[in-house]
Amino acid sequence: MLSNLSFPVHAGSYLKDPTESELGKRILHESIQMIDDLGLEHFTFKKLAKQIGSTEASVYRYFENKYKLLVYLANWYWSWLQAKILKETYNQSSKFFKLERTIELLASPIEQDEKFDFIDEKKLYHIIISQGAKVYLIKEVDEENSQGAFLAYKSLCAIVSELILNINPNYKHSHTLASTIVETCHNQIFFSEHLPRLTDLSKDDYDELKEYITHLTASALRA
């Protein structure tokens, strides 16, 4: 299927491609529900296996452990978002619009993509916000990184960095600002939901978040 081929999710995170079997797709679908429900710590392959009516051993044939599964899901999300950003900005002539639209896509909940019925993009977005940092906040980060676990994230940041440089070619911190934008979107959504005293944003007020990030970015590039 072409729709699968369009997502070269990095091979290192899985033992067996989960998109190529029914069981694999069920693993992806149910793990998204369960990680969102339980959080990564309380999520186990045993619980997942029970949920999908399979066995622990079968799940282990697809993923080494739950962290690798999270890495897979994060890569899926970053790749998917990158494709969406490229598609929606490709034909635009205004460099300002391009960056603004990109920020909007980063800072908004995502609608279901009918092409991938085994991925609940909205829940996946929620997982990335609430668990995403655990992908790299690990002891093995350097090893994972050298195996390509974060390529999709880095690629996305590179794109945002390019958009920044298009607007201000002299700006010295395009990568820094790019990752600041991405991380801040997630942090602030999390804070608005759980730690409201760390933000002025109201829960689910994505317009306000977009305005904040856009203003922060624009003023940094103008000054």
Partner DNA sequence: AACAACATGATAGTATTACTATTGTTCTAT
Partner DNA sequence: ATAGAACAATAGTAATACTATCATGTTGTT
Q: Which residues of this protein are in contact with DNA, per CB under 7 A? A: 16, 21-24, 42, 44-47, 53-58, 60-61, 64-66
**Shortest Å, Cβ 156 to a copy of itself:** 10
Stretch 26-55 residues interacting with a copy of itself (CB under 8 A): 38-39, 41-42
CB 31 within 8 A of CB 74: no
Nearest approach in angstroms of CB 81 to a copy of itself is 16
Residues 6+ away with beta carbon under 8 Å from 140: none
User: Total binding residues for a copy of itself by CB under 8 A?
Assistant: 50
Does 13 interact with a copy of itself (rule: CB under 8 A)? no
Is the CB of 32 or the CB of 189 nearer to DNA? 32
Q: Which is nearer to DNA, 46 or 215 (CB)?
A: 46
Q: Which CB atom, from 9 or from 178, has the smaller least distance to a copy of itself?
A: 178
Which residues sit at the interface with a copy of itself, rule CB under 8 A?
38-39, 41-42, 130-131, 133-134, 136-139, 141-142, 145, 150, 153-154, 157-158, 172-180, 183-184, 187-188, 190-191, 194-195, 197-201, 212, 215-216, 218-220, 222-223
